[in-house]
A and B are shown apart, each in its own frame.
Chain A
Amino acid sequence: MNHDDATELLALYALDALEGDEAAEVEAHLVDCPRCASELDSLRGVAAAMGNATEAPPAHLWAKIAGHLYDAPSEAPALVKPASVTPVRPRRSRALIISWAAAAALVAVLALALGHANDRAARLQGALTASAKNEVLAALVAPGHHLVTLTGSHHRELAQMVTLPDGRAYLVSSRLPALAPTRTYQLWAIVAGRPISVGLLGPRPSLAAVTMSGARASVLAITDEPSGGSVTPTMPIVASTTL
C-alpha cells in the first residue's frame, strides 16, 4: 500500500473500522512511515476523546483484576498493534518479585484490633488470607487512602502500609528480614508521645490488617519482640514513618 492510500484509511483505522486485508496493509505501512504513525496517534486521540465517558465500574472488578496479576501471561493476541515498538524494559524475572500478592497465599494473616491483640490473633491467624487480600486490594483504591512507607536505618524501605480515614490500616508489602520463630514484629502507633501496640505482625510479615480506632497517631513504628509481644517497645525501632 502506498503512502497516499494509507493516509486515506488512517481515520478508519483509528476508529477500528477497518477489517482484514485493509487493516493489515495499513499496519504494514505504519511500521516504516513515521508520518502516518504520528497522524494515527493524533486521530486515536480524537477517537479517545469521543469515547472518554467515565462510568463507575462494578466494585468487585479491581479485586478481580488484581487477583490475576501473577498469572502466566495469556497467549491472547495483541490488543492493538503499535505503530512501532521500542522495548525500554528488560524482561523481568518473576522469581525476584517481592510481592504480598504472591506471598499472601502462603503466609498466615494476622488481623489485630487495638486492645485485643493476642486474643484476636489466636482466632484469626490463618483464617483470613483470601478475604483480607480482597480487603487490602479494595483499600488501595478507596477514597482518602494514604500509602506510607516505613523505613529503617540508612533510609531503607522496609514496609508499606495503606491507611484509611476510618482507622483501618493494612500492611501491603514487607522487606523486613525474617525473625526466629520465637520472635515477632510488633506494630506501634505513637499517640501523644506514647507508644500503643497496634498488633503483632509475626516473624515473617507479608500482609496484615490492623485497626487504629480513634487514635490520631503521629508515628508508626515496628519493633522486634518476643513472640507474645511486649507492653512497651524494645529498642531499637526496626522501621518507622511519620504520619
Chain B
Amino acid sequence: MDDLSEASDPRLVTMVARYSEVALAEIYRRHGGAVFGLARRVLNDTTDAEDVTQEVFLRLWNEPDRFDPSRGALRSFLLTQSHARAVDLIRSQGARRRREAREAAITAAATYDVRHEAWDLVLADEVVRALASLPPEERQVIELAYFEGHSYVKVAELLNQPEGTVKTRIRNGMRRMRGALVDAGIEGAT
C-alpha cells in the first residue's frame, strides 16, 4: 500500500504536490538517470549536467502542477526541461569555450554518428532505427540541433547550408521520425 515503486508517475507527482519527499525520490529513481544523461550529452560536462538535473527536480518539487499528464509522459516532460536548460547553458557565455572546442571536433569528425552511443533503454533500439531510417541530410541537422544544442541558424552556418534548407530538413525529419516511432509502437518516451 505504501510501495511507491508500484505507483504511477502522475500519482507520484500528485504526492509531490503534497510535499512528499519519498515520492520525489521515487521519481528521481525512475527518471533521474535520463534527465542527467541528456544534460550530460548536450553539455559534455558532468558538473553542468548535475546542476541541470538539480534544477529540473527542484522545479518539479516547487511547481508540480506544471506537469499535465494529458500532455505527455512524465519522462518526456522532464527531458524537455533538461534539454531546454542544457541548451540555455551551452549557449551562455560561461560554456562558450567548451562549446567551441566541441564545435571544432564536430566539424572535423565527418563520421559523427549518434548510433555509436551506448543507450541502455529497450526503446533506444527503435529510436536508433528510426533515426537511421532518415535521409542522412535530415538526420544530421536534427542531431546537430538536438544533441549539440545548436540553433538552426548555427546549424546552417556550421554546414554551410541555407537556413531555409535546414528548417525544412529539420521539419521533415522530425515528422518522419514521428512516423517511424509510431510505426514501432513508440509514442514519445515513457
Residue positions of A touching B, CB distance < 8 A = 8-9, 11-12, 14-19, 38, 41-58, 61-62, 64-66, 68-69, 71, 73-74, 76, 79-80, 82-83, 85-89, 92, 97, 99-101, 137, 140-141, 146-149, 160, 162, 172
A-B contact pairs, 12 of them (CB 8 A): A41-B71, A42-B187, A44-B72, A48-B72, A50-B127, A53-B34, A53-B37, A53-B38, A53-B119, A57-B33, A147-B3, A147-B4
Query: Are A15 and B146 neighbours in the complex by a CB distance under 8 Å?
Result: yes
CB–CB A45/B83 < 8 A = no
Are A45 and B72 in touch, CB under 8 angstroms?
yes
Q: 1/0 contact trace for B153-169 toward A, CB 8 Å? A: 10100000000000100
Give the 5 A-B CB pairs with smallest separation, nearest first. Answer: A45-B188, A55-B37, A48-B76, A54-B33, A140-B25
Contacts of B57 in A (CB 8 A): 65
Judging by beta carbons under 8 Å apart, are B151 and A49 in contact?
no
Would B142 and A15 count as touching, CB distance under 8 A?
Answer: yes
CA distance A54 to B120 in the complex (A): 6
Sample of 17 further A-B pairs with CB below 8 A, known A49-B188, A57-B53, A69-B58: A16-B87, A16-B145, A17-B155, A48-B79, A48-B188, A49-B127, A49-B181, A50-B131, A51-B37, A55-B41, A64-B54, A65-B58, A66-B21, A69-B24, A79-B59, A86-B68, A162-B22
CB distance from A68 to the nearest CB of B (A): 6
Contact between chains at B64 and A89 (CB < 8 Å)? yes
Whether B99 is near chain A, meaning CB under 8 Å from some CB there, is no
Q: Which among A44, A54, A56, A100 has the greatest number of chain B C-beta atoms within 10 A?
A: A54
Asked if residues B50 and A61 are in contact (CB atoms below 8 Å), the reply is yes
Within 8 A of A (CB), among B60-93: 61-62, 64-66, 68, 71-73, 75-76, 79-85, 87-88, 91
- Bound together, the chains give a CA A80 to CA B46 distance in angstroms of 22
Q: Which chain A residue lies CB-closest to B118?
A: A53
A99 to B22, CA, bound (A): 11
User: Chain A contacts of B12 at CB under 8 A?
Assistant: none
**What are the residues of chain A within 8 A of B33 when measuring CB–CB?**
54-57
Contact B50 A50 (CB under 8 A): no
Tell whether, in the assembled complex, residue B53 and residue A61 are in contact, meaning their CB atoms are under 8 Å apart.
yes
